[in-house]
Amino acid sequence: MRKVGLVMRKIQFTEAQGPRVFADRLKQIGLELGVDIVFISPERHVSGYDWLPGYEHEKGDLVNYDVVLDQIHSQNIEHVIYTVSGFTFLKMFLPKSVLFPHSFPDPALTGYEMMKPFYTMVDKAVVQTEFLKRELGRNFGVNDVNVIPIGFNEELAHRHYDPNQIVHNRVLWIGRDEENRRPDLVLEYARQNPDKEVYMVFGGRRYEESMKKYNIPSNVKLQFALTQDEVFALMNSAKVYWSCSTFDTFAMPLTEAMAMGKMVVKPEHACYGHIRSTHAFAGNEDNWFELVNMAAAAPRSVSEDNREYAFGAFSRTIMKEGYRNFFADWLK
């Protein structure tokens, strides 16, 4: 079985959110395709809180190269997928290395200026959306790019789908307590709409502490570090899924919401252009509250159009075929 190293930050492997879900899904798909995905991460210079200066950012990654390379060489690995741009230098030692970005140099994101120099060194990438492929070419001249979605778990999307369980005033938001995710907007929406039941789901336990700085309205339910099974069960019960992030590289919960037939409210930004169907409504800070209320008041409980589109565009089956073709070319 061929080995492929997956290099992520330690904190990304430990939290129940996008990067870890992606890693587990890729590992399972790899096994089905005869590829052993080996998890690799720095063991030092990390913090449980990624906003502390000097920790868990691209510059911090540079001091971890010896640790990462030791792990890679000890496993006789020649092919590496790295998810953090600070590890671009791996291609100096491993020509067969490819970036799968968990972030992107967009002005809306923390570390934007820090990321840019690393992206000028990228020569091969796998991305989640056509938007990211266009941006890599337009901004950094990277044209060797494969687009493979992070496919949602089809078994969970079938098992938990039950329109009879929908709570019609329930609005679901999944994100982080970070400025560009706009949790402040969700709390303000809840304050202005006391008739709505608003669930806010956070991927890591660390947000239990950081969310204490907010005044949480009584109609807001906070959830932390849910399993995928719990996410889909909760997703099924909500009428509306709302994303108000400024920018997103993964947008995984949006694809899951589509697969569960939710009425979706999303940002107008082009990075969400792949989230499109009859009942996916794009808005902005000026009209989001109204859009969420309109979606909640819609006479239909679910959108079969959204669900059908998601299964055809973002399923695990689509992801597996994408990696089957990618590995066949990259590992030969």
Question: Which of the residue ranges 100-114, 191-205, 254-268, 311-325 would you say has the lowest mean pLDDT?
Answer: 100-114
Q: Give backbone dihedrals phi and psi of 79, rounded to 5 degrees, phi first.
A: -110, 130
Distance of CA 123 to the CA centre of its chain: 22
Give the phi and the psi of residue 128 in degrees, each rounded to 5.
-85, -30
- Averaged pLDDT score across all residues of the chain: 90
Give residue 17's pLDDT band: very low, low, confident or very high (50, 70, 90): confident
Give the C-alpha separation, 69 to 73, whole Å: 6
DSSP-derived letter for residue 139 is H
Task: Give the mean model confidence (pLDDT) for residues 108-117.
Answer: 79
| Beta-strand relationship, 35-40 and 79-82 | unpaired
Is this model's pTM higher than 0.75 or not? yes
C-alpha span between 317 and 301 (Å, rounded): 27
Give the total residue count for the chain: 332
The mean pLDDT value for 322-332 works out to 96
Which tens digit of pLDDT belongs to each residue from 59-74?
A: 556 667 888 899 999 9
pLDDT the model gives residue 111: 73
Q: What is the pLDDT of residues 159-171, one digit of tens each?
A: 999 999 999 999 9
d(CA 265, CA 7): 33
Mean pLDDT value across residues 257-286 = 96
At residue 56, the pLDDT reads 46
Residue range 146-174: mean pLDDT, rounded: 96
pLDDT on residue 55: 46
pLDDT of residue 204: 80
Question: Structure tokens of 23?
Answer: 């890693």
Token pair, residue 185, equals 């907007």
> What is the maximum alpha-carbon separation in the chain?
59
